[in-house]
Amino acid sequence: MPDYPRDQLVTLNGLSFHYRDWGGAGQPLILLHGLASTSHIWNMVAPILAADNRVVALDQRGHGESATPDYGYDFSTVVGDLQAFIRSVGIRQPVIIGHSWGGDVALEYAVANPGDVKGLGFVDGGTINIAGRPGNTLEQAKEDMAPPVWDGLTFEKLEERARTWRQPSMLTPQHMEILRSNFRQEGGNTITSRLSRANHIRIIEALWDHTPPELFPKVGCPVLLMPARQKTNESVADRRWRREESIEEATRLLPKSKTVWLEDSVHDVPIQRPELVAGVIAKHIAAGFFG
């Protein structure tokens, strides 16, 4: 039996894409990371799910070890990448689980490919509507969502910085390996983000034209909403209120959905509470929520 995960490369639409194959048998699951992340964010969730399901995690265009062209970050092209990937690995009727922006990619995919998806799972994502925020502008969105500047940073300095914003439980060697996967080392031991700043901005521009409330009524498969929430953290109260409002809207507009709040959880809940994320997904698969 081969060891898992297996790191694989596949050519899609003329570009090289990397994915992690976690093996398993049963319901096919495709795991999509968020903006400026990689397939490694699922490193702690995927092995739990692979006990009873077929699991693969894709590095999307511009991310991780996949190709990094300076074009093609609109949703139509990214969805085309995903469609080519699903066909290439021979998966039929997957449940697509997306974290953050990955959930919005999954949403666009399901609308563009009705009947090809058994279900969707949004892990603190799938409802990003930056143009719908009162008073927001594209330029403001680019400023608010721009990546940090990593110039001159080494992996050692990156880990030091991580200790200032992460909970102690998220500073294990496994967590640091996942963090490091977002960067590559250059000359002189300095690092740079695998997703370039220019391509990061291109994705923000695509998100500006992405309107989930218009898409929700067109989704023909069940959707499991898994938003993260910190009720006791007043410093994020405004963000929590906006998220609760967006989830209420999604619930009203999606033909079939269920919401499971991931309480006491941060945005990167797949690495903060992997057992919780995997457990919620596995429970709903086993219960037949996705059909």
DSSP 154: B
| CA trace torsion 117, 118, 119, 120 (10° rounding) | -30
Tokens read off for 211: 């309107």
pLDDT at 11: 98
pLDDT at 195: 97
pLDDT at 231: 82
Per-residue pLDDT at 212 exceeds 70 = yes
Average pLDDT of span 184-208: 94
Among residues of the chain, what percentage have pLDDT more than 90? 90
Per-residue pLDDT at 232 exceeds 90 = no
Average pLDDT of span 264-274: 97
Average pLDDT of span 167-176: 95
| Contact of 131 with 208, CB cutoff 8 Å | yes
Helix or strand holding residue 99 (H, E): strand 95-99
pLDDT at 270: 98
Question: What values do phi and psi take at 60, rounded to 5?
Answer: -75, 165
Tokens read off for 94: 């997957």
Question: Got the DSSP string for 11-22?
Answer: EETTEEEEEEEE
Residue 217 CB contacts under 8 Å (≥ 6 apart), including other chains: 253, 254, 255
Tokens read off for 119: 């279900």
Query: How sure is the predictor about 196, in pLDDT bands with cuts at 50, 70 and 90?
Result: very high
Average pLDDT of span 55-63: 98
What architecture is domain 6-137+209-286?
3-Layer(aba) Sandwich (3.40)
Q: Where is average pLDDT lowest: 8-12, 43-47, 146-150, 232-236?
A: 232-236
CA-based diameter of the chain, in Å? 56
Q: pLDDT digits over 34-50, tens only? A: 999 999 999 999 999 99
pLDDT at 1: 45
Query: Which residue is listed with tokens 């370039």?
Result: 196
Domain boundaries of the chain, sorted by first residue: 6-137+209-286
Q: pLDDT digits over 234-261, tens only? A: 666 677 888 999 999 999 999 999 999 9
Average pLDDT of span 202-214: 98
- CA–CA separation, 63 and 179 (whole Å): 13
Query: How sure is the predictor about 75, in pLDDT bands with cuts at 50, 70 and 90?
Result: very high
